[in-house]
Amino acid sequence: MVKIRLQRLGAKKRPQFMIVATSEGSKRDGNFFEKLGYYYPKAEKAADKVQLNKEAFDAWIKKGAQMTLTVEQIFKSLKA
């Protein structure tokens, strides 16, 4: 099964995450199929927190990929 989840980047206490489509069994920072965007939790502006390739994201969802709970919460907070 394919999951859409976060892959950690950045330095200690300065988190940055890549949003990736990856196999369910792979490691958190392991191989991935495609890079879908970035998440910067410490960005000052709410608009700068998430950068997403919407076409690629929608394509993976149509193929049956599932978002992790964390990714779902990020997208719910964007819509609110």
Q: What angle do CA 45, 37, 62 make, to 5 degrees?
A: 125
Facing residues of 20 across strands?
Answer: 5, 35
Q: Residue range 10-29: average pLDDT? A: 89
What is the reported pLDDT for 17?
95
Q: What is the reported pTM?
A: 0.87
Do 3 and 23 contact (CB within 8 A), yes or no?
Answer: yes
pLDDT per residue as tens digits for the range 26-79: 877 788 899 999 999 999 888 889 999 999 999 999 999 999 999 999 888 877
Q: Alpha carbon 40 to chain centroid distance?
A: 10
Residue 28 lies in domain: 2-79
Into how many domains does the chain fold? 1
- Per-residue pLDDT band at 80 (split at 50, 70, 90): low
* CATH of residue 24: 3.30.1320.10
Neighbours of 76 (CB within 10 A): 9
